[in-house]
Structure 1
Amino acid sequence: MIGTCWSRARTRRSPPDAAHSRCPCAPPYESRRVRSCVRRHQSPVRRRSSRTSARPAPNGHHGRVPTPPPTPAPEPRLPDPDELRSRLAEACERARVPGAVLGVSVDGERTVVAHGVRNVATGEAMTVDTVNQVASVSKVFTATTLLLLCDEHGIGLDTPAADVLPELAGADPAVTVRRLLDHSSGIQCDLFDDFGPGPDAIGRYAAAVPGIGSVVAPGRFFSYSNAGYVALGRLVERLGGASYDRVLARRLFGPLGTERTTLRLDEAVLHRVAVGHDLGPADAGAGGNGASGATVPRARPWIDQRSISPTGGVISCVPDLLRLCELHLADGAGVLGASTARAMRVRSSTTPDPYTAGPGWGLGLTDCTGSDGEPVWGHDGLGVGLAAYVRIVPGRRWAVAMMGAAGHTRPAWQELWRELLREQGMVMPELPAPDPGIDPGIDPGIDPGIDPGIDTDRYVGRFSRLSQDLEVRVGDHGGLELVTTPTGVLARFGQPTTAPLRPVTTDVFAVRATTGVEAAVVFTDELGGTGRAARPAYLHTGLRATPRATPQDR
């Protein structure tokens, strides 16, 4: 995710304390990530001339002095538990996260620490074995189980999904099993209707998927799809011959040796359970009206909806998440075929927005590889008042996992896992500092609400997808702003928001997200038009592609 602060492209890096003094939520050196990201992924870039005449170097070579061989990276090591616990506490306090658990695995050995409380209403302490919903990290469990079943049944990943899943009858043949796994199916993302508590809930949801339509043609580009993963969950049921929760318990949880991972609330309550939290008015209770403007963490209930289990319903703890990571570090560990496990870590689709999670997606795993090219894979999960994260570095048999009892955990997570990588001698999986020879194309010191001469008509209009409407308009300040309106079931969990769009470069903007960090907004896929300039057909943000809503907007 993008850091909270945006500063001048050619400003020297500030030390971590200075970065935090500018913005309490910003992890060190995060402020320039989008801009440097843009320069890497967009071309051509404009560079000031920096060429000098070749002249003999002191060592007798012409041109540049040869670069000395790199210093070998240190062997990965486990962090000291007391130091890790202290770091977790400091990061959570800065991000106002009431409680979290953080764990690191190196070659199968683990250090896991906890901080804070798991429920602000009761004051119960967070412990390393506390369970919580892991939201979209559930997709890694779904993909892993599905792929071992596909191997057993001889199902190729390029098979049209409708051929093996009757619920998708009539779907475009280009919607394959692979494209469901790597989010390039084009299927709408957020169908959150409740299909009941019965064992047929996932099947009923999957049968509704063909009727919700697509946002983009299959294979065109990446667009995250929760609905697509529920369809994969139904395929798990068909191939596994039982309900989704029973198949995962038998085929994955058991062989992994998980101790507290489940999909059933009646089993979760046998363990220490964290509730979700968000930030609410400090004086909203006891007759207060929230007029003070102060906010504090407040407890939120879990979502109990069986039909979305394959996309966000797994309940787990950090030690069990590390067991899942270790399976992938060990190329399947005998549970999943080694070649299949490695195939999950090959980029299969590419996103127009490489700034939010990474440049692309594998088969159920996010490609988080950074500037040094060392492969880093993982997945993030964000639920109602909760969050979970996993990262693996296969070449070093190193993994990190975190669960936070707050929807705004991300700033703490970003700070912690990047610090841990740096200490292991690994380059952070983010892009390097801006090249001082690159002209950013805009005045980096502009006020975020002021239009620096961009063609606002190119972007204004309505964009719409299932469960969310987006409107780009010119605000009273003269610059562009984004109005986000949740619709359908999601309207119960949020209100419309308006935020200025801060220009970064052509077709790339930043907007302040509800999690407290700035998110990328990328316009892509130009449309032609007589009598007017081509306009982008899609707004890509939050991993999702959203098409222009009406012909008038095109």
Structure 2
Amino acid sequence: MTTPQEELLPGTRRALLHRIAVAQAEGRAPSLVATVVRGGESVWTGARTSVEGHAPDGNVQYRIGSITKTFTAVLVLRLRDEGVLDLGDPVEKYLPGTGVGEATLAELLAHSGGLAAETPGPWWERTPGALRPDLADVLGERPLVHPVGRRFHYSNPGYALLGALVEELRGAPWEEVLRHEVLEPLGLRRTSMRPEAPHAEGWAVHPWADVMLPEPVEDLGRMASAGQLWSTTDDLARFAAFLVNGDERVLSAESLREMRTPAAPAETADVASGYAYCLGMEIRHHEGRTLVGHTGSLPGFLACLVISVADDVAAVVLANCTSGPSPFTVAADLVRIVAEAEPRIPAPWRPLKEAEPAVLELVGQWYWGTQAFALRWSADGVVSLEPLSGIGRRSRFRSNGDGTWTGLEGYYAGELLKPVRRPDGSASHLDLGSFVFTRQPYDEGASVPGGVDPDGWRGIG
């Protein structure tokens, strides 16, 4: 017996409520609201507040800070998919004279362009954006603090440049492009540049006393594409579902998989903590689970959206305080609670619709030198090559429609797997990026580079 997809068990719902209640109380947040997504739909929303009887719901706006960057990255990937630009293009090609022209668009998306973390002027999050209308004010006289492409260094000005790129190529303000190309198609009607009622007020909570101070709400101007947006847990739940499944009106599932793939050289500390940056998204490893999404903060607000693709569970957490609860830790715990209490029920196994003899001939055991591998063919048309010992290189391969396959991951990502056939059409060996895989270890009947000793295998004596 299974529980309907739209329902969570009472015990699961209570565990979720308990987690956010602890976060709000111990983090001293004026309010905190969270939503859990499963199967592309919101299945639970909960809230806690310091104001009795006025708990927010999934329709109340909070500022989401740097989650805005994921929206900006979607706009850039749309331009790439339309053929308007290439992610390997230098910034100079579209925005000349910035002083960071050799950095590529991909490097800006991945925070590896060498740009400074912040603007050279006053604290931009608390300064009216009208004071910085020009990119020169955002970048300053020394925009680069690291060699281009050499290391991950989070850069808010880098995403200001990407917003300017969108405006330059679309001929319209970033806000207008975002609304037309992403918000409206996805039905994100409560995501906006400026607060729209009902919305939370941003507060600073004194670290040593239970008192609060209102935070200013500034228009970020040129920095808007790095952190301007307001949204709700309901809207971000829909956005989370899109980030996994895609929507052909906005961005394909394939391009979103690319966005979720690490793209920046990791720092030593990041490797140790399991953190990596992709194209507008973050990856974190938490208690054995891989989570992708983004965090956000601005004075008065904290936010997080995380997704466990493997568990088909996502969580959104929003709070209206400058510091306090860790939104990532809370969101990760919400994902864990659902994934462990109500694990994903796998789809039924189904066989291939048609068995192709030419592919079926290739499945089974192969050897790379003396290491044994298994080639498997699954119902989705993908073949996988993995070491039987469990140790070594493994990858899945997508069919190219001509009897060859292209690697999808790991060492063999992008590499070509092709069977080499004898004159009678039977498979002699597999060629994988110049490596030869044979049916027997160093099969003398196959074309093994360097040849095989004619005396064959022997003992020591």
TM (normalized to structure 1)? 0.54
> Against the structure 1 CA distance between its residues 416 and 151, is the aligned structure 2 distance closer, same or farther, given a 3 Å change threshold?
closer
Matched residue, 1:305: 220
Indicate the structure whose relative CO is greater, using CA pairs within 8 Å and at least 6 residues apart: 1
> 1:294-373 maps to which residues of 2 (within 5 A)?
294-332=209-247, 334-349=249-264, 350-354=266-270, 358-370=274-286, 372=288
Matched residue, 1:246: 176
> Against the structure 1 CA distance between its residues 418 and 249, is the aligned structure 2 distance closer, same or farther, given a 3 Å change threshold?
same
Q: Is the 8 A contact 1:387 1:403 kept in 2?
A: yes
Aligned-residue offset at 1:273: 1.2
Aligned-residue offset at 1:422: 4.6
**Aligned partners of 1:307, 1:217: CA distance in 2, in Å?**
24
Partner secondary structure for residue 360 of structure 1: strand
Counterpart among 96, 102, 105 of residue 28 in structure 2:
96
RMSD (Å), alpha carbons: 2.9
Partner secondary structure for residue 175 of structure 2: helix
**Aligned partners of 2:273, 2:317: CA distance in 1, in Å?**
16
**Aligned partners of 1:387, 1:320: CA distance in 2, in Å?**
16
**Aligned partners of 2:89, 2:112: CA distance in 1, in Å?**
14
Matched residue, 2:46: 113
Q: Is the 8 A contact 1:145 1:248 kept in 2?
A: yes
**Aligned partners of 1:137, 1:305: CA distance in 2, in Å?**
15
Partner secondary structure for residue 199 of structure 2: coil
**Aligned partners of 1:371, 1:294: CA distance in 2, in Å?**
33
Aligned-residue offset at 1:161: 1.1
Q: Is the 8 A contact 2:316 2:331 kept in 1?
A: no
Cα deviation, 1:117-154, whole Å, max 9, x if unaligned, reads 5xx7x995423211021111111111111211222134
Matched residue, 2:365: none
- Letter of the structure 1 residue corresponding to residue 73 of structure 2: A
Partner secondary structure for residue 172 of structure 2: coil
Matched residue, 2:316: 401
> Against the structure 1 CA distance between its residues 355 and 386, is the aligned structure 2 distance closer, same or farther, given a 3 Å change threshold?
farther
**Aligned partners of 1:371, 1:197: CA distance in 2, in Å?**
40
Aligned-residue offset at 1:330: 0.2
Aligned-residue offset at 1:260: 0.7
Aligned-residue offset at 1:225: 0.1
Aligned-residue offset at 1:238: 1.5
Matched, 1:257 2:257: no
Matched residue, 2:366: none
> Against the structure 1 CA distance between its residues 102 and 149, is the aligned structure 2 distance closer, same or farther, given a 3 Å change threshold?
same
Matched residue, 1:84: 16
Aligned-residue offset at 1:280: 2.3
**Aligned partners of 2:61, 2:280: CA distance in 1, in Å?**
22
Q: Is the 8 A contact 1:180 1:229 kept in 2?
A: yes
> Against the structure 1 CA distance between its residues 156 and 421, is the aligned structure 2 distance closer, same or farther, given a 3 Å change threshold?
same
Q: Is the 8 A contact 2:185 2:249 kept in 1?
A: no
Aligned-residue offset at 1:172: 4.6
Aligned-residue offset at 1:396: 2.9
Percent identity at matched positions? 27
> 1:115-514 maps to which residues of 2 (within 5 A)?
115-116=48-49, 125-166=55-96, 168=98, 170-173=99-102, 175-191=103-119, 204-205=134-135, 208-209=138-139, 211-263=141-193, 265=194, 268-269=195-196, 271-280=197-206, 294-332=209-247, 334-349=249-264, 350-354=266-270, 358-370=274-286, 372=288, 375-411=290-326, 413-415=328-330, 417-418=332-333, 420-425=335-340
**Aligned partners of 1:177, 1:114: CA distance in 2, in Å?**
39
Q: Is the 8 A contact 2:49 2:55 kept in 1?
A: yes
**Aligned partners of 1:356, 1:388: CA distance in 2, in Å?**
24
Aligned-residue offset at 1:95: 1.3
Q: Is the 8 A contact 1:386 1:409 kept in 2?
A: no
Cα deviation, 1:410-456, whole Å, max 9, x if unaligned, reads 33651453254154139xxxxxxxxxxxxxxxxxxxxxxxxxxxxxx
Tell which structure's C-alpha radius of gyration is larger. 2
Q: Is the 8 A contact 2:311 2:339 kept in 1?
A: no
Aligned-residue offset at 1:245: 0.6
**Aligned partners of 2:145, 2:105: CA distance in 1, in Å?**
18
Q: Is the 8 A contact 1:180 1:232 kept in 2?
A: yes
Aligned-residue offset at 1:240: 2.1
**Aligned partners of 2:212, 2:332: CA distance in 1, in Å?**
23
How many corresponding residue pairs?
Answer: 329
Aligned-residue offset at 1:205: 2.6
- Of residues 358-367 and 76-85 in structure 1, the stretch that sits farther from structure 2 once superposed is 76-85
Matched residue, 1:494: none
Aligned-residue offset at 1:167: 5.1
- Letter of the structure 2 residue corresponding to residue 309 of structure 1: A
Aligned-residue offset at 1:275: 1.4
Listed as ranges, the gaps of 5+ residues in structure 1 are 1-74, 282-292, 427-554
Q: Is the 8 A contact 1:149 1:240 kept in 2?
A: no
**Aligned partners of 2:257, 2:225: CA distance in 1, in Å?**
22
> Against the structure 1 CA distance between its residues 167 and 143, is the aligned structure 2 distance closer, same or farther, given a 3 Å change threshold?
farther
TM (normalized to structure 2)? 0.65
**Aligned partners of 2:164, 2:314: CA distance in 1, in Å?**
30
Q: Is the 8 A contact 2:24 2:325 kept in 1?
A: no
- Of residues 388-397 and 249-258 in structure 1, the stretch that sits farther from structure 2 once superposed is 388-397
Aligned-residue offset at 1:295: 3.4
Listed as ranges, the gaps of 5+ residues in structure 2 are 342-461
- Letter of the structure 2 residue corresponding to residue 275 of structure 1: E
**Aligned partners of 1:100, 1:393: CA distance in 2, in Å?**
21
Q: Is the 8 A contact 2:20 2:330 kept in 1?
A: no
Cα deviation, 1:478-498, whole Å, max 9, x if unaligned, reads xxxxxxxxxxxxxxxxxxxxx
Q: Is the 8 A contact 1:78 1:104 kept in 2?
A: no
Q: Is the 8 A contact 2:273 2:285 kept in 1?
A: no
